[in-house]
Structure 1
Amino acid sequence: MDDKGEIQKALFNYIKQQLPVNLSLVHEVSELLELSYDSTYRRLRLEKALTLDEALILIKHFQCPLELLMKNELNLLTFQHFCVAPEQFDKHQWIDFIYARLKLICKAQKKQIIYAAKDPPIFQYFQFPEIASFKFYFWEKTLFHSKKLDGKTFSLDKMDPDVVEKCRKIAALSLQIPTVEIWNEDTFTILLRQIEYHWVSGYFDTKDDLLQLLNSIELWLYHNQKQAELGMKFLYGHEPHGLKNSYTLYENEIVLNDNSIFISEDNKSSAHITYNVLGLLASSNDNFCHNVASLHQTLISKSNLISQVAEKERNRFFNKLHAKVKQFKELHELSKFDG
């Protein structure tokens, strides 16, 4: 078989893998290309070559990585990306993108997310409006220099109710996806450093806004500690109820994480890396996914499992994080205002 036939065969094999079991390959291709079943079968059997236009229609619709068709002979790697451009960050658009991606993952019968967390995963704190609102303020004002925030301070009285509701929906949806998270102390302390920068810079509206935010962070830590104890994610403020073994937490003490994410969905997988803080690059390339998955397994092998087991180590880890919040309050003379 010539190279063109091999490429066509690889394309159809990829499409077949992407289709749910209840959909017919010949039907889907014939509908997209507006061909009869007979003409479609001749292309599937490689008796007739796809035209360039036909191939492009299929590649675009099924988002086929080009390196898959080229057998990676040129050592190329293509990514899907969600670009976050400075001064053009749209938090509603970004939230909608995350929500849509989670909905797709939830459709899979077998699914899992592995997260090497450099920053606290958004699914963790999106149940807490104070934390989510601060993070959006931080991203927009400090990182993306949003002109609409020029001269504006952070106030919990100005939380966007639409953003709060969307964040809660994302958090609720994420409970359906078993997750493995790899943390270290810096995963949490980076959040405190961001808060301190904004406090020292005069970006908080009042001291009470800062105190409420820190109190919310402590509640989040207690909630996450309980999730780790049970090995199950559940909604804050509710009785623990959810998927068993849906939350696995590791503490890594020797390597700084990189926010890489590995997602498994039935018979396919994808790896995601972040850039420009909130931008995402995603690839389903087998070699790339294998490399990311291998790194995660190496990190896990060098980490301490602190969910469901190792109560002493789990308590030690979270006590250190609570102590950091307490120290922050004392340093900035907030303890006397607390409760």
Structure 2
Amino acid sequence: MTKNYIVKELINKMKERIPQGQNLANYLTDTLYMGKEAVYRRLRGEVAFTFDEIAVISHNLGISIDQIIGNHLTNRVTFDVNLLHSPNLFESYYEIIERYLRIFGFLKPDGNTEVYSATNTIPFTLYSSYEYLSKFRLCRWIYQHGKVKTPNSLSEMNVPEKIVASHKKLCEGLRKSEKTYFIWDSNVFLSFVKEIKYFAGLNLISTSDVMYLKNELQQLLIELEQLSVKGEFSEGHELYIYLSNIDFEATYTYVADKDFQISLFRVYSISSMDSQSPQICQIQKNWIQSLRRHSTLISGSGEAQRIEFIEKQKNIIDML
């Protein structure tokens, strides 16, 4: 493995990731705040990219430098555990959401974007625009860090506006994929309802909070029923919802377009570790597709199973 080969692969990755219609030299000139000739010397290999320059490029374009190096090492696969840097919990949470937004931002609207997700709880990307449901998710995460005191109320919880805006963008980002595949447990609402009841019992959310949450869960279920009947988020953006007949241990996600792919594994409640390794991404995609074979499609078809599923979730929500 030569230094020049690594630089060539880095340049190829940059060409794949820059916004459509942009010239790489112009992009690097603006991103690295340097002159055109300095950029061209780096692209020709006459001058090496500095560590700081590579760090900026990696962050802005989502290029895994470990991955580029690891591709050429036998039996070596790299994962990013996305360590948080801010001591402030709201800022740390914002880092996590922004990471997910950058992933969706790397997808190009070229007709080849795909999102696969197998989960036994409601995907946050589907309810991130709901005020109380997203507040409850944030509250749970803060509680796990020991920072929520009783009694507590979601209605009094002041969420920074930039987090609210990011929640809405996350919901919109999912709907831009040409094809989205969800595989769910048939009791996908149950864990959410159980957590609401648990937090209410600890006075970490108020009685009125529970009613707001119940109302939003009912709205979400109506929205999901409408989406599953249509089998699409909007014209040209297909949605496939499957109900799994077997259990799976974790949340698996695979996101890809023609030039980019990434596999994510949910850890520590709302964070994830991920890999852009072609080997891991293929394994992840194959695994989720294997779960589809043990599942029933309820979007766009499977009317009887869909009606049964919706009714079951209504009864679960009514437990609140």
TM value normalised by structure 2: 0.81
**Aligned amino acid, residue 267 of structure 2:** Y
- Residue in structure 2 matched with residue 79 of structure 1 by the alignment: 79
Shift of 1:26: 5.8
What secondary structure does 1:256 align onto?
Answer: coil
- Verify: 1:259 aligned to 2:251, yes or no: yes
Written as runs of structure 1 = structure 2, the 5 A alignment for 1:296-335 is 296-326=288-318, 328-329=319-320
CA distance in 1 between partners of 2:26 and 2:159 (Å): 45
Question: Conserved in 2, the CA contact under 8 Å of 1:249 and 1:307?
Answer: yes
> CA offsets, 1:108-148, max 9 Å, x none?
4332221112321112112322222222222212x2211xx
Instruction: Answer whether contact 1:263 1:271 (CA < 8 A) is retained.
Output: yes
Task: Name the CA distance, whole Å, in 2 between partners of 1:139 and 1:318.
Answer: 28
Q: Secondary structure at the match of 1:185?
A: coil
Distance 1:13 1:98 in 2: 23
Match in the other structure for 2:57: 61
In 2, the alpha carbon distance for the partners of 1:41 and 1:133 equals: 46
Letter matched to residue 180 of structure 1: Y
The answer to whether 1:219 aligns with 2:219 is yes
Report how many residues are paired. Answer: 309
In the TM superposition, what is the alpha-carbon distance from 1:254 to its structure 2 partner? 0.3
CA distance in 2, matches of 1:9, 1:108: 26
- 1:171-190 residue pairs with structure 2 within 5 A? 171-178=171-178, 179-190=180-191
Q: Could you list the per-position Cα deviations for residues 7-60 of structure 1 after superposition, in whole angstroms to 9, with x for gaps in the alignment?
A: 3443333333334553445666788686468745753xxxx6x64x54773465
Percent identity of equivalent pairs: 17
Could you tell me whether the CA contact under 8 Å between 1:84 and 1:278 is conserved in 2? no
The one-letter amino acid of 2:140's match is F
Distance 1:196 1:223 in 2: 23
Distance change (3 Å), C-alpha of 1:96 and 1:268? closer
Cα separation, 1, equivalents of 2:183 and 2:226: 17
Name the structure 1 match of 2:16: 17
Q: Deviations over 1:255-289 (max 9, x none)?
A: 22522211113322111222211222232211111
Structure 2 gap ranges (5+): none
Distance verdict in 2 for CA 1:299–1:72, change over 3 Å: farther
Distance 1:38 1:132 in 2: 46
- Distance of 1:86 and 1:253 partners within structure 2: 41
Separation (CA, whole Å) in 1 of partners of 2:50 and 2:257: 28
Change in 2 beyond 3 A, CA 1:285/1:106: closer
- Distance across 2 between alignment mates of 1:116 and 1:105: 21
Q: Which letter does structure 2 place at the counterpart of 1:117?
A: T
> After alignment, is 209-218 or 149-158 more displaced?
149-158
Q: Distance in 1 between matches of 2:277 and 2:220?
A: 36
Counterpart Cα distance in 1 of 2:83 and 2:114? 24
Q: Are 1:232 and 2:224 counterparts?
A: no
User: In the TM superposition, what are the counterparts of 1:1-339 in structure 2 within 5 Å?
Assistant: 3-20=2-19, 22-25=21-24, 35=37, 39=41, 42-43=44-45, 51=48, 53-54=49-50, 57-58=53-54, 61-62=57-58, 63-84=63-84, 88-90=88-90, 93-94=94-95, 97=98, 100-101=101-102, 104-105=105-106, 107-110=108-111, 111-141=113-143, 143-146=144-147, 149-156=148-155, 158=157, 160=159, 162=161, 163-164=163-164, 166-178=166-178, 179-206=180-207, 208-233=208-233, 242-256=234-248, 258-326=250-318, 328-329=319-320
Whichever of the two has the greater Rg, that structure is: 1
Unaligned segments of structure 1, at least 5 residues = 234-241, 330-339
C-alpha separation between the residues in 2 aligned to 1:42 and 1:166?
Answer: 38
**Counterpart Cα distance in 1 of 2:238 and 2:190:** 25
CA contact 2:150–2:203 (8 Å) conserved in 1: no
1:123 and 1:170 in contact (8 A); partners too: yes
What's the RMSD between the two structures over aligned residues? 3.3
How many angstroms does 1:106 deviate by? 5.7
Query: What is the CA–CA distance in structure 2 between the aligned matches of 1:319 and 1:188, rounded to whole Å?
Result: 12
For the residue of structure 1 that corresponds to 2:228, the secondary structure is helix
- C-alpha distance 302-65 of structure 1, shift in aligned 2 (>3 A): farther
CA contact (8 A) 1:183 1:250 kept: yes
Residue 159 of structure 1, CA deviation: 6.0
Question: Cα distance 1:36–1:153, how it changes in 2: closer, same or farther (>3 A)?
Answer: closer
Moved more, 63-72 or 22-31: 22-31
CA contact (8 A) 1:126 1:171 kept: yes
TM-score under structure 1 length normalisation: 0.77
